[in-house]
Structure 1
Amino acid sequence: MKRAHWLFGDQLGPHFLRPGPDGPDRNAPVVMVESRAVFRRRRFHRAKAHLMLSAMRHRAAELGDRVRYVQADTYRQGLHMAVGDKPVTVHHPTSRAALGLVRALDSVTVLPARGFLVAHDDFTAWVGARDGGRLLQEAFYRWVRRRHELLMDGEEPAGGRWNHDHDNREPPPGQARTLGAPPPYRPREDAIDAEVRDDLDRWERDGDVRFVGRDGPRMFPATRREARAALRRFVAHRLAGFGPHEDAMLAGDPVMSHSLLSSSLNLGLLDPAECVEGAEAAWRAGEAPLNSVEGFVRQVAGWREYVWQLYWHLGPDHARSNELGHRRPLPDWFLDLDADAVTARCLATVLAQVRAHGWTHHIPRLMVLGNIALQQGWHPAAVTDWFHRCFVDGYAWVMQPNVIGMSQYADGGRMVTKPYVSGGAYINRMSDFCGPCAYRPARRTGAGACPYTAGYWAFLHRHRARLEHNPRMAQAVHGLDRLGDLGDLLREEDGRRGPP
C-alpha cells in the first residue's frame, strides 16, 4: 500500500513529488494541511498570507483527486483528519519547529530536503574539509560553482574571475527616476484568489487573526506555470540589465531589474537549478553579460544556499544571539508599517513599499531597514521576527541568518566580517532618496541632521571597545576622535524620541 506524502506550503513544485530512493512513493496520495494557528500566532503581512494560501490552494486544485486538502486548527490535527495514524512521508521541512513536529510523529518518515542545490550531508563534508577555518561565503560559493559546473570553463571561472561585484555596484544612473528596465511578469488573480481574500476578510472581521500591510492585487506567482513565466521573462528581458545597478535604489522604481523570484523559490515553485542554468544559458548564447549573470548566480547558488545551510549548521542558539546587547523593543510605527509617521525619505519610502507589497529588494532591506534597527539598538530577535512576518519571501531559515548574522551583527561576526552600518552618505550615493529629504546626509547634529548619519556615529561610539579591533572597522572608529561635535551628537541621540 502506498504511503501518503505530506506537502508543506513551501514544497509546492513538481520536484517535491518526484519519486525515487529519497522521494515519495510513485503516484502517492498527497496530504496538504492549511493551519489557522499559523496565522493566529503571528501578525503576518496580509499580502504574505494571501500568497501562501493562494499558492497552496492552487496546488491542491492542480492535484485534483490525488490530494486530501484539510483546513484545520493545527498541522497535527489536520494530518490526523486526513490519514489518521497511517504512515506518511514528508520531505525535510524548512524550519526547526516543523522538523520537530514531524519527527515527533511516529507515523511520519522524513525524507531528505529538496529545493536546494546542496544536500545537508554534502555541506557537512565541506565543513569538515575546512580544517577549522571560517565558513566564508565566498569559499562556499566557489565550491558550489565547481561542484555544479556553473559558469565554469574547465577548472577556471568563466571570464577568469569568480566575483564581478566591482561591476555590479554602480549608483543609480544620472537624474533618472526609473532604471527603464522592461517590466517584470505580473500574474492575474482568479477565483481562488478571490476566495482567499474573502477568507482573510472574514478572519479579520471575526477577530480571529490580525494582519499588517495591504493586500492589493497579487504581485507574485502562486503557481508553477506563473513562476516559470516569471523566470522566462526575467532571463529574456531583465537579466541583461540586472548586474550594474543591483545595489542601487530609486524611490520611483522599487523593482528595477531585480528578478522577483525569491518568493517562488521559497514556496518551492521553482527549483534553483533551473534558475541558475537558465541564466548561464543566456550568457553562453550572448543574450546577457557575464557580470549580470554572475551576480544572479551568486544570489541563488551562493547566498541562498549558504543561508539555508547555516540555518541548520549554526543551531538553535544562533537565533538567540545578541552579542551587541541590543534590547530596545521595535517601535509601534515600525511594527505597523506606518510610513506616513516617518520624515526620513529613505525609510518612509521603503516602509511604504513593504506596506504595499511585503517586498523590497536586498539593499533597502539591509541598508535602510536593517541599518536603522542596528543603529537604534532594537532587539535582534524581534527584528528577525518582523522580517519573517512582513516579507512575502520570509521564512525562518531565510531570516535568521540574514538578520541575526548579517544585518544585525548579533552573532559577533560568525557570518560576516563587519557590521553593515552606514551613515547618510552611503544612502545618498546609492539612491535618489536624499535630495528632497528634510534631513541632510552630511549633517550630524542640529536642525536637519540625518538620523542615519547621527545614528552611525552614535553606534560606533557605543560599540567602540569591540569594533576598534576589527580591521575593517578600525579606521571608522578612530574617526570618532576627529568629531568636535561628538558630545552634542550623543546628547541629541540620547534624547531622540519618535520615528526618524
Structure 2
Amino acid sequence: MAGTGTKADRRKQRKRRSGSAGEAHWLFGDQLGPHFLTPAEEGPGPDVPVVMIESRAVLRRRRFHRAKAHLVLSAMRHRAAELGDRVHYVRAGTYGEGLAQAAPRGRLTVHHPTSWAALGLVNGIDRVTVLPARGFLVPLADFRAWADEHGGAQGLRQEGFYHWVRRRHDLLMDEGDPAGERWNHDRDNREPPPRDAATLDVPGPYRPREDEIDDEVRQDLDRWERDGEVSFVGRDGPRLFPATRREALAALRRFIERRLAGFGPHEDAMLADDPVLSHSLLSSSLNLGLLDPAECVAAAQDAWRSGSVPLRSAEGYIRQVAGWREYMWQLYWYFGPDYRRENALEHTAPLPDWFTALDADAVTARCLSTVLAQVRDTGWTHHIPRLMVLGSYALQRGWHPEAVTDWFHRCFVDGYDWVMLPNVVGMSQYADGGRMTTKPYTSAGAYINRMSDFCGPCAYRPGDRVGERACPYTAGYWGFLHRQRDRLSGSARMRRPLANLKRLKDLDKALRQLRRAGDAPP
C-alpha cells in the first residue's frame, strides 16, 4: 500500500524533505511564534528538529528587570513544552556550550536574529545558514532601497515610510487613497485625560494565569540570585504579559474587541492610577515573536471596516505597529552597529544610583516617582511616560545616551536592542543630531500638567523655574536649551523656544539652582 515502509525509510524521507541529513533549526528566545517554523518562502519544514538554548550568560551580562527575565524564560520553556519531542532544549552557560550539546554536528538554519550581537554570533558559525527575518512587515532589502531613495539631506522621516507601508499592505486604504482622506489622525489622538477621572472607563486588559512552568522559573531565578550568579532590578509579581501563543491571541482579541475603540483619543494621556489606559500591552508578545504584526494590523483594520471601532483609533494603533515599530526595526539595521555610539549633544553624565535602582520612593516629583514605580513594579509603561517623563529627564540632565539606552533595554519587558537603540538614541535623546526626528522631544512641566493628573498633588509647581517649588522639568528644560543652544540653533522647530530662552530674566538663578541639585533625586 502507498505510504508504507519501515521507520528508517520514513526518517530518510523526512530528512530529504527538510534538507541535508543532520539539519536542525535554531530558535532564539524572541522567535517563539508558529511563523518561525513554517516552510513558506524560506523556512524549516514541519519535520525539521528544533534547537533552543537557554543561555545563563545573557542574564549575567546585564542587570535585567526581574519580571523581564521571568517572562522570557517562561515563554521559552512554554514553547519548548508545546514542541515536545521535536525540540532539543538545552540550559547552558553560553550559546556556544548549548549548541555543542544540542547540535554538535550537522548544519543548522536560523531566521535572521534581532540584534547585531546575535547576528555576529550565528555568522561566525560556518555550519549555520541565516534565513530571512520574520515577524516584520517589510524585508530589510526593500527598506534599504526605499531609504536610499528617500533619505536625502533632511534625513529619514517616519511619516513617509508609514505611507509607503500602508500602500504596500493595503492598510486603511480606499481605492488607493487613505481612508478618511487623511494618512494620520494624530491631531485627534492627543486629548488629555478626562478631568477628575482617576481611570478611563474601559474594560481592563487581558492578564494571564501563571502555571507550574512559571513556578519553576521563579524558583530558578530565586536560586540563581541567592547564589550570586545573577542580579536583577525591579519586582517579579504575578506574570502580567503573555508567555504563549494562546495567551497572546487572547490578549489580542480582548484588545480589539473591548479596548481598541477607546484607544485613539487618549493614547498620549497619563493617569497615576491607570498606567495602562486603553493601550494594547501587546508589545512584549510581538517582540517575543508570539504575535505577527500582520495579524495585529489586520485585526484592527477588520474592526474598523466592521464599524466596531472609529477610524482614528484603528489608525492610531496601526501607525504604532506598521509605522513606528516597523520603522525602528528597519532603522536599527540600516544605521548599522556604530549607531549606538552616536552622541551629537556630547552628553556624558552617568545615570545616578537612584535611577538605576528604580528607587521611586527617593523621588519627590510625582510624575517621575509614579512612572519609575510603574517600571519597578511591572517592567512597563506606555510610550508617553517613556518619552516625556523618563527620557525627557535623562536628556535634560545630560546623561550618556548609551547608558540610557542600556537602562531602557534592561528595565522593560518589551525592551530589546533593536527596539531601544533607535527609540532612545534617535527619538528620546536626540543623540543622532536629527537623523530620524526634527527636534529633541523634551518639554517643561506644562506638557506633563496638560496630559496627566500628576502635577496637582505634586510638591512642585509646573510653572515655576526657581524657588523651593520649582518644577525639575521646567527648570531642566530651560537649562537644557541654554546648554545646547548653539547645537539646536539650526533646527526650525527650535527657533521659538530658543528665542524665548533669551527673554528669561531668571535664567541665571534657575541654572545655579540646577547645578546645586546635581544628580540628587528631584
Same fold (TM over 0.5): yes
Deviation at 1:125, TM superposition (A): 2.0
Partner Cα distance (2:338, 2:254) in 1? 41
Decide whether the 8 Å contact of 1:144 with 1:302 is kept in 2. yes
Decide whether the 8 Å contact of 1:89 with 1:108 is kept in 2. yes
In the alignment, does 2:272 pair up with 1:239? no
The alignment-based identity, stated in percent, is 73
Q: Deviations over 1:422-480 (max 9, x none)?
A: 01000000000000000000000011000000000000000011112211011101111
In the alignment, does 2:127 pair up with 1:85? no
Moved more, 102-111 or 1-10: 1-10
Q: Deviations over 1:305-361 (max 9, x none)?
A: 000000000011110001101000000000000000000000000000000000000
5 Å-filtered alignment, 1:354-369, equals 354-369=375-390
Q: Deviations over 1:101-129 (max 9, x none)?
A: 00000110000000000001111221233
In the alignment, does 2:42 pair up with 1:22? yes
Partner Cα distance (1:409, 1:234) in 2? 32
**Could you tell me which amino acid in structure 2 is paired with residue 89 of structure 1?**
T
Q: Any idea what SS the aligned residue of 2:493 has?
A: coil
Q: Which residue of 1 aligns with 2:490?
A: 469
Moved more, 250-259 or 119-128: 119-128
**Could you tell me which amino acid in structure 1 is paired with residue 450 of structure 2?**
R
Deviation at 1:24, TM superposition (A): 1.4
Q: Which residue of 2 aligns with 1:4?
A: 24
Q: Which residue of 1 aligns with 2:145?
A: 125
Q: Any idea what SS the aligned residue of 1:49 has?
A: helix
Aligned match for 1:416, one of 432, 437, 447: 437
Q: Any idea what SS the aligned residue of 2:492 has?
A: coil
Unaligned runs of 5+ in 2: 1-14
Partner Cα distance (2:464, 2:254) in 1? 43
Larger Rg over CA atoms:
2
Deviation at 1:174, TM superposition (A): 1.0
Q: Which residue of 2 aligns with 1:499?
A: 521
Moved more, 338-347 or 116-125: 116-125
Partner Cα distance (1:399, 1:469) in 2? 27
Deviation at 1:22, TM superposition (A): 1.1
Q: Any idea what SS the aligned residue of 2:150 has?
A: coil
Q: Which residue of 1 aligns with 2:10?
A: none
Q: Deviations over 1:234-292 (max 9, x none)?
A: 00000000000000000000000000000000000000000000000000000000000
Q: TM-score, normalising length from structure 2?
A: 0.95
Deviation at 1:73, TM superposition (A): 0.6
In the alignment, does 2:226 pair up with 1:202? no
Partner Cα distance (1:77, 1:87) in 2? 16
Q: Which residue of 2 aligns with 1:288?
A: 309
Partner Cα distance (2:44, 2:160) in 1? 34
**100 and 131 in structure 1: CA distance in 2 versus 1, 3 angstrom threshold:** closer
In the alignment, does 2:89 pair up with 1:65? no
Partner Cα distance (2:490, 2:224) in 1? 52
Moved more, 382-391 or 126-135: 126-135
In the alignment, does 2:140 pair up with 1:116? no
Partner Cα distance (1:372, 1:280) in 2? 36
Aligned match for 1:263, one of 274, 284, 300: 284
5 Å-filtered alignment, 1:429-448, equals 429-448=450-469
**Could you tell me which amino acid in structure 1 is paired with residue 521 of structure 2?**
P
Decide whether the 8 Å contact of 1:468 with 1:478 is kept in 2. no
Partner Cα distance (2:151, 2:270) in 1? 40
Instruction: State how many pairs are aligned.
Output: 500
Q: Which residue of 1 aligns with 2:7?
A: none
Aligned match for 1:301, one of 313, 316, 322: 322
Q: TM-score, normalising length from structure 1?
A: 0.99
* Aligned structure 1 segments of 4 or more residues deviating by more than 6 angstroms: none
Moved more, 74-83 or 224-233: 74-83
Partner Cα distance (1:87, 1:403) in 2? 37
**Could you tell me which amino acid in structure 1 is paired with residue 144 of structure 2?**
T
Partner Cα distance (2:388, 2:148) in 1? 34
Deviation at 1:481, TM superposition (A): 1.5
**Could you tell me which amino acid in structure 1 is paired with residue 231 of structure 2?**
R
Deviation at 1:21, TM superposition (A): 3.9
Deviation at 1:131, TM superposition (A): 6.9
